[in-house]
C-alpha cells in the first residue's frame, strides 16, 4: 500500500508550524515589559506543579507567559500594564494573583481539584455538576486515559466503566480490521446486524459511528462520560435505550504556542499459548487408531495403498519432519502511532490543532491498517458573553484483510507434511488431497478497504442576560467507504471451474453517507442566597429543539474472468458475474423538542425533570412521534448537620425513572416497498413486486429505565465510589411476526416483544498512600447483569424450532424463549461415555437414558453472560516514576467449549486436532474416557459434557513511565520529556482450556512511548 497520501498529509500538517509560531511571536510582542519570575507548587504537598500555565495579558488582550518547569519555576517578560497573573493547570483550581508594583517574584500555591473533570458530567448538551446530578454516569479523566496502553478507545472505556461489556471474540482475536461487539447494561433488542444494541457515541456534541471511535487517537481525548440511566440520557431520549458515551476532545487554551508530540511504538507478537496440537508422531498414530489406514491385515489394492501411505508418512516422521503450520501465516507486527498538537492564542482567539498517524501491522501476513487524522478546534470570544467555536476533523483509513484463508486453515494441516519440496518449490498437494494454503498466499489476491470521514461542528453561545443564555450548533458529517476484493484466476477456489472466462473475480463496492443535524436551546439559571451565605437554591431550565437528516447510498458489482494473476484491476475482467449490480439508498429524518428542569434546595435536595417529544420517518405513519421523559431525585446527605465534621465528604442518594427509545432501524421498515424485476417485462413495460409490507401502526421501541444509586466519599474523597442498582424493561420490541402466505409475505415487522435487564454496578476508588514523593491509587469496577425475555412473537418461536430441527453444527444454536435469558445456553443432558462401547448416553426430559439425541429435550445449562465481571488496577507515582496496572476479570459465565466439540470430538482424523483427541478418547471396552470412540467421526450434538463455568483473568495493561530531569530538558531546549514502557494483553488465564483466535490469532503488545512538550 502506498504511503504517499499519508506523507502528503503530514507534510501539509507541518506547514501549520510557521503560521502558529508567527502568531505566538506576535502575541508576545509588547512595547513595555519587565522581567517576572516565581514558583508554582501544590498547596498540600509543596511539590512543583510542572506544566502549569502562568499568563499575563497586555492592554491589547495578547497573552504573555510561560509554563512551569520541572523545578517548579517560571520566568517571562510581563507587560507593564498587566494587573494580574492567571495560573491554570488541569486537576487544579485556577488561580488569579494580583500584581504588586515593584514586586518581581511570586510564590503561587494551587489547590487541587481532585476531580476537576470528574466533578462535571459532560452530557453533550448542558454540562451538569456531579454533586447535584441525579443520573447514573461514569467519567473517565485524561489522566486515566494516559495510563493505558494505546490500543483503542473502546478498550479504555471497558476497563474503566462498570457495565460496559465488549464481547470476547474468540474467532477474530486481534484482527486490526474487526470492530468488536459491545453492550452497556445488557442487550435490549433482538434485531442483529444494525448495531441496535450498541451505545450511542457523541463526539463534541456530534453523533459519530462506532468505527470512528474505534480509529480515533486517544491523545485527542480530554474526558469520556458514560451515561447509563434515563435521567443521565434524557437529552438523547429517542436514541438512548442502549446508553450514551459522550467524548470530549482537548480544549483550546490561551497562551503562547505550545507544541506537544507523542509517539508510541508497538511490537505485536502472536499469542498461541491456547493451542495444544498433536505433533507429527502423535497425529499419525491418531490416524492409525481411528482406522484411516484400515486394520493392516487386508491385501486388496485399497488396503495396500493405505498401508503404503502410512509407512511413507512414518518414514517422514522418523526423519524428523514436524512442521509447525500455524506459524506459516504469522509474523511479528510493528505498529507506530504519532500525535502532534499545537495550541495557544490570545484571550479572545484560541486554537488547538492536532494531527495523528496510526500504522498497524497485523500478526497475519497482509493484514494491516493505516489511519491519518487532522482536527482543528478554533474558538473566539468570551464564554461569559458571546462565544463561537468550530471543530473540524478529517480522517482517512486504509486497510488490508487476509485474502488467503483463515488461521484455522493452517491449524488443521498435518505436521508430517512438508510445506516445500526438496528443490524449494511449494508442495502443492498435501496429505488427503489437501491444498497447500501457502500457494494461495503466494498469489496476487487482495482485500482492500478505504474509508474517510469529514465532520464539522459550528457552535455559538450567547449570554443574553444574567442567568439567561442561548446555544445553537450545526453539524455536518460525511463518510465514504470503498472496498475491492480480488481473487486470482490461479486461486484454488476456481479449481472446479472449467471456463477460463469465469476464473478470477473482482467484487467492488462503495458507499456514502451524509448527515446534517442542528440543535438550539435556551438555558435559564436563577440562584437564591440563604441566610446571607452562598447560593444554596438553584433553578435551572432548559428548552430546545433538534433536527436531523440522514442520506446514505451504496453501489456494488462483481466481475469474472481475469486472464492473469497480475491483472489487478476490474477493467481487466472479461465480463460481469451472473448477477445484477447491487446497491441501496436510505433516507431518514428526525425532529424533536425537549425541556429540562432542575431544582436544588439548600444544596441538599434536588429534582430533575425532563420531557422530549420526537418524531422519526422510520416508523409508521400513525406513530411517527413518541414521548420520552424522566424524573430524577437526589439527596446530599453529607450536607446534613448530623454528618458535619465527620469523615464523610460525600454521601449522595439518587434515583431516577423514565422512558428512552431506540431508533437504530432500517428507514423503510414500516413502508410498502417494490422491487423491479427484468423477468416481468410485458408490452414494453417492466413489472415490480412488493418486497416489504406497509405498517402504519409500527411504533418506537421504548425502554423504561429505573435506577437507584449511592455516591460516597470518605476522608476528603481519599476513598470514593458509587453503587447503582437498575431495572430496565424494553417494550414494543420491533420483531418479525408470521403472516399467512396468501397475502404475499411470510413475515412483517410488528411491535411485539419485551426484554428485561436488571443488575448492580460498583465503582470504587482509593488514594491509599499520599506522601511528598509517593502516591498510590487503587480502583475496582464490578457489574452484574441479568437478562430476561418477557415476551416474543410466534414467528421467532417457530424460527427457533426450525433452526433446531435443521441444525447440523456441533455448537448450540441461538434459542429465544420467554422466561429465559437472551444469552441462555441450551443443550441436552448427558450421562457421559459408555465404557462398554464408547458411545454417548443422553438423558431425556423424563430422566431416562437414551442413545438418541432430541433437540426438544434441551434444558438451560447456564448463561454465557458472566455472573460478575469488571476490572481492577492501580496507579502509583514515586518522584519521576509512574506505574499503572489494569486487569479485567470474568466470573461465572457458562461456556460451551468449542474446542472439545470440534477438535476433540467431531474432529476429522485427516486434520490436526487438540492433543486430547489422542489421549482422552475411548479406545477399547472398559475404558473410562471423557470423550467418544476415537474412530467415531460423527458430529457431536450439543450436550452439557462440553459446558463449563469460566473464571478468567486478563492482564490488560502494564505501564511504567519516567519524566526526565528538568536540567536535561533545558539542555535540549524542551519543556518536558517523558518516556514509557508498557505492555497490553499480557496474559489470559482461564479455567477453560480452549483454542482462542480461530480465524485470526490474539497478540501480545509491547510498547515504548515518547512524549515531548515544547
Domain residue limits, the chain: 4-110, 120-261
Cα dihedral value 303, 309, 314, 315, nearest 10? 120
Residues 6+ positions from 165 with CB-CB distance below 8 Å: 158, 182, 183, 184, 783, 785, 869
Query: Do strands 774-791 and 868-878 pair parallel, antiparallel, or not at all (unpaired)?
Result: antiparallel
Task: Let me know if the fold of 4-110 is the same as that of 120-261.
Answer: no
Q: Rounded CA gap, 901 and 813, in Å?
A: 14
Q: Are 271 and 1002 in contact (CB under 8 A)?
A: yes
Collapsing DSSP states into helix, strand and coil, what is residue 532?
A: coil
CB 50 within 8 A of CB 44: no
**Are the C-beta atoms of 747 and 736 separated by less than 8 Å?**
yes
Distance CA 224, CA 1 (A): 34
Under-50 pLDDT residues of the chain: 1-30, 114-118, 193, 532-535
Over 474-540, what HEC string results? EEEEEEEEEEEEEECCCCHHHCCCCCHHHCCEEEEEEEEEEEEEEEEEEEEEEEEECCCCCEEEEEE
Positive or negative: CA dihedral 900, 902, 905, 910: negative
User: Cβ(527)–Cβ(538) under 8 Å?
Assistant: yes
CB 938 within 8 A of CB 908: no
DSSP label of 943: B
**What confidence score (pLDDT) does residue 721 get?**
93
Kindly write down the DSSP assignment for every residue of 647-673, as one continuous string. SEEEEEEEEEEEEEEE--S-TTTTS-E
Which residue bears the cell 423538542?
593
Number of other CB atoms surrounding residue 103 within 10 Å: 9
Write out the CATH class of domain 4-110: mainly beta
Task: Decide: helix, strand or coil at residue 80.
Answer: coil
| Cβ-based neighbour number of residue 429 at 10 Å | 12
Q: Which of 533, 685, 699, 537 lies closest to 602 in space, CA to CA? A: 537
- Residues 584 and 981: their CA atoms lie apart, in Å, by 48
Which pLDDT score, from 0 to 100, does residue 393 have?
Answer: 95
Residue with cell 473540524: 392
At the second CATH level, the architecture of 120-261 is Beta Complex (2.170)
pTM: 0.85
> 478 pairs with which residues across the strands?
454, 514
Q: CA 223, CA 54: separation in Å to the nearest integer?
A: 23
pLDDT given for residue 995 in this prediction:
93
Query: What's the CA gap between 119 and 223, in Å, rounded?
Result: 11
* Element of type H or E holding 252: none
CA atoms within 13 A on the CB side of 311: 6
Q: What is the DSSP letter of 571?
A: G
Identify whether the C-beta of residue 455 lies closer than 8 Å to the C-beta of residue 476: yes
Of the candidates 548, 654, 730, which has an alpha carbon nearest to the alpha carbon of residue 183? 730
Question: Other C-beta atoms within 10 Å of 765: how many?
Answer: 19
Whole-number Å distance between alpha carbons of 208 and 477: 8
Residue 989 zone, left/alpha/beta (φ > 0; ψ -120 to 50; rest):
beta
- How far is Cα 494 from Cα 483, in angstroms, rounded to an integer? 22
Taking each helix axis from N to C end, the angle separating 301-318 and 280-289, rounded to the nearest 10 degrees, works out to 160
Nearest C-alpha neighbor of 910 from the set 930, 931, 937: 937
Please, which residues bridge with residue 594 across strands?
A: 544, 612
pLDDT given at position 2: 47
CB atoms within 10 A of CB 130: 16
Candidates 831, 914, 898; CA nearest to 864 is 898
Q: Which residues pair with 791 in a beta bridge?
A: 754
Question: What are the two backbone dihedrals, phi and then psi, of residue 878, each rounded to the nearest 5 degrees?
Answer: -145, 110
Amino acid at each position: 500500500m502506498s504511503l504517499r497520501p499519508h506523507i502528503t498529509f503530514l507534510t501539509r500538517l507541518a506547514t501549520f508550524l510557521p503560521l502558529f509560531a508567527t502568531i505566538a511571536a506576535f502575541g508576545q510582542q509588547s512595547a513595555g515589559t519587565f522581567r517576572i519570575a516565581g514558583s508554582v507548587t501544590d498547596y498540600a504537598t509543596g511539590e512543583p506543579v510542572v506544566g502549569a500555565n502562568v499568563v499575563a495579558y497586555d492592554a491589547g488582550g495578547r497573552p504573555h507567559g510561560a509554563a512551569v518547569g520541572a523545578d517548579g519555576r517560571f520566568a517571562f517578560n510581563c507587560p507593564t500594564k498587566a494587573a494580574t497573573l492567571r495560573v491554570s493547570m488541569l486537576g487544579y483550581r485556577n488561580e488569579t494573583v494580583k500584581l504588586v508594583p515593584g514586586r518581581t517574584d511570586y510564590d503561587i500555591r494551587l489547590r487541587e481539584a481532585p476531580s476537576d473533570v470528574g466533578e462535571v458530567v459532560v452530557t453533550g448538551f448542558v454540562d451538569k455538576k456531579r454533586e447535584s446530578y441525579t443520573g447514573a454516569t461514569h467519567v473517565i479523566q485524561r489522566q486515566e486515559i494516559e495510563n493505558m496502553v494505546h490500543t483503542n478507545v473502546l478498550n479504555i472505556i471497558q476497563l474503566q466503566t462498570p457495565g460496559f461489556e465488549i464481547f470476547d471474540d474468540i474467532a477474530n482475536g486481534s484482527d486490526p480490521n474487526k470492530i468488536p461487539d459491545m453492550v452497556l447494561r445488557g442487550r435490549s433488542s433482538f434485531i442483529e446486524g444494525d448495531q441496535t444494541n450498541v451505545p450511542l457515541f457523541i463526539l463534541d456534541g456530534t453523533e459519530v459511528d462506532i468505527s470512528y471511535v474505534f480509529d480515533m487517537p486517544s491523545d485527542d481525548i480530554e474526558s469520556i462520560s458514560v451515561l447509563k440511566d434515563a435521567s443521565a440520557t434524557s437529552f438523547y431520549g429517542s436514541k438512548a435505550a442502549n446508553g450514551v458515551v459522550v467524548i470530549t476532545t482537548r480544549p483550546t487554551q490561551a497562551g503562547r504556542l505550545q507544541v506537544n508530540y507523542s509517539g508510541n511504538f508497538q511490537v505485536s507478537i502472536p499469542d498461541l499459548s491456547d493451542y495444544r496440537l498433536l505433533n507429527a508422531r502423535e497425529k499419525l498414530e491418531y490416524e492409525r487408531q481411528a482406522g484411516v489406514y484400515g486394520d493392516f491385515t487386508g491385501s486388496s489394492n485399497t488396503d495396500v495403498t493405505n498401508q503404503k501411505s502410512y509407512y511413507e508418512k512414518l518414514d517422514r516422521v522418523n526423519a524428523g519432519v514436524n512442521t509447525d503450520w500455524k506459524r506459516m501465516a504469522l509474523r511479528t507486527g510493528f505498529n507506530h502511532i504519532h500525535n502532534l498538537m499545537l495550541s495557544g492564542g490570545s484571550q479572545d482567539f484560541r486554537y488547538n490543532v492536532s494531527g495523528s498517524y496510526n500504522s498497524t501491522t497485523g500478526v497475519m501476513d497482509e493484514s494491516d491498517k493505516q489511519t491519518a487524522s487532522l482536527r482543528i478546534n478554533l474558538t473566539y470570544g468570551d464564554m461569559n458573553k458571546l462565544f463561537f467555536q468550530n471543530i473540524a476533523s478529517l480522517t482517512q483509513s486504509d486497510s488490508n484483510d487476509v485474502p488467503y484463508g483463515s488461521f484455522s486453515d493452517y491449524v488443521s494441516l498435518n505436521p508430517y507434511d512438508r510445506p516445500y519440496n526438496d528443490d524449494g518449490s511449494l508442495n502443492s498437494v498435501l496429505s488427503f488431497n489437501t491444498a497447500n494454503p501457502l500457494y494461495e498466499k503466494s498469489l496476487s489476491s487482495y482485500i482492500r478497504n478505504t474509508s474517510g470521514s469529514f465532520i464539522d461542528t459550528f457552535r455559538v453561545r450567547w449570554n443574553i442576560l444574567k442567568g439567561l443564555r442561548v446555544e445553537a450548533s450545526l453539524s455536518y458529517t460525511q463518510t465514504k467507504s470503498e472496498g475491492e476484493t480480488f481473487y486470482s484466476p490461479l486461486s484454488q477456489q476456481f479449481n472446479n471451474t472449467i471456463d477460463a472466462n469465469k476464473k478470477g473475480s473482482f467484487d467492488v463496492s462503495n458507499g456514502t453517507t451524509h448527515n446534517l443535524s442542528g440543535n438550539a436551546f435556551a438555558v435559564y439559571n436563577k440562584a437564591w442566597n440563604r441566610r446571607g451565605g452562598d447560593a444554596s437554591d438553584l433553578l435551572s431550565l432548559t428548552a430546545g429543539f433538534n433536527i436531523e437528516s440522514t442520506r446514505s447510498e451504496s453501489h456494488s458489482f462483481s466481475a469474472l474472468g481475469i486472464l492473469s494473476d497480475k491483472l489487478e484491476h476490474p477493467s481487466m475482467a472479461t465480463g460481469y458475474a451472473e448477477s445484477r449490480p447491487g446497491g441501496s439508498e436510505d433516507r431518514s429524518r428526525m425532529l424533536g423538542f425537549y425541556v429540562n428542569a432542575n431544582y436544588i434546595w439548600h444544596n441538599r435536595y434536588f429534582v430533575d425533570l425532563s420531557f422530549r417529544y420526537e418524531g422519526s420517518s422510520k416508523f409508521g405513519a400513525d406513530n411517527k412521534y413518541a414521548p420520552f421523559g424522566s424524573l430524577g431525585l437526589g439527596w446530599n446527605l453529607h450536607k446534613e448537620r448530623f454528618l458535619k465534621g465527620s469523615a464523610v465528604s460525600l454521601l449522595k442518594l439518587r434515583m431516577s425513572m423514565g422512558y428512552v427509545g431506540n431508533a437504530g432501524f432500517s428507514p423503510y421498515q414500516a413502508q410498502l416497498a417494490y422491487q423491479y424485476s427484468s423477468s416481468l417485462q410485458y408490452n414494453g413495460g417492466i413489472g415490480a413486486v412488493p418486497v416489504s409490507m406497509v405498517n402504519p401502526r409500527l411504533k418506537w421501541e421504548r425502554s423504561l429505565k429505573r435506577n437507584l444509586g449511592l455516591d460516597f466519599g470518605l476522608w476528603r474523597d481519599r476513598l470514593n465510589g458509587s453503587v447503582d442498582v437498575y431495572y430496565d424493561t424494553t417494550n414494543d420490541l420491533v420483531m418479525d411476526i408470521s403472516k399467512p402466505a396468501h397475502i404475499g409475505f411470510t413475515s412483517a415487522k410488528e411491535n411485539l416483544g419485551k426484554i428485561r435487564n436488571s443488575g448492580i454496578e460498583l465503582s470504587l476508588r482509593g488514594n491509599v498512600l499520599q506522601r511528598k514523593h509517593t502516591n498510590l491509587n487503587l480502583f475496582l469496577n464490578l457489574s452484574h447483569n441479568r437478562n430476561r425475555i418477557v415476551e416474543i412473537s410466534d414467528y421467532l418461536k417457530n424460527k427457533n424450532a426450525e433452526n433446531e430441527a435443521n441444525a447440523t453444527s456441533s455448537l448450540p444454536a441461538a434459542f429465544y424463549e420467554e422466561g429465559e435469558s437472551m444469552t441462555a445456553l441450551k443443550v441436552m443432558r448427558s450421562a457421559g461415555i459408555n465404557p462398554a462401547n464408547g458411545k454417548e448416553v443422553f438423558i431425556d426430559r423424563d430422566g431416562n437414558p437414551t442413545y438418541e439425541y432430541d433437540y426438544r429435550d434441551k434444558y438451560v445449562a447456564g448463561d454465557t453472560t458472566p455472573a460478575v465481571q469488571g476490572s481492577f488496577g492501580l496507579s502509583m507515582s514515586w518522584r519521576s516514576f509512574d506505574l499503572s496496572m489494569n486487569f479485567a476479570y470474568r466470573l461465572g459465565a457458562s461456556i460451551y467449549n468449542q474446542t472439545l466439540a470440534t477438535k476433540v470430538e467431531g474432529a476429522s482424523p485427516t486434520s490436526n486436532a487438540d492433543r486430547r483427541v489422542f489421549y482422552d478418547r475411548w479406545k477399547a471396552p472398559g475404558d473410562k474416557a471423557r470423550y467418544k470412540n476415537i474412530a467415531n467421526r460423527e458430529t457431536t450434538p450439543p450436550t452439557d459434557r462440553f459446558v463449563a463455568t469460566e473464571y478468567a483473568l486478563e492482564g490488560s495493561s502494564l505501564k511504567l513511565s519516567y519524566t526526565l530531569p528538568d536540567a536535561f530538558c533545558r539542555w535540549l531546549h524542551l519543556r518536558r520529556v517523558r518516556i514509557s514502557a508498557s505492555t497490553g494483553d499480557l496474559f489470559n488465564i482461564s479455567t477453560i482450556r480452549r483454542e482462542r483466535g480461530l480465524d485470526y490469532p490474539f497478540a501480545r503488545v509491547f510498547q515504548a512511548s515518547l512524549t515531548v512538550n515544547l
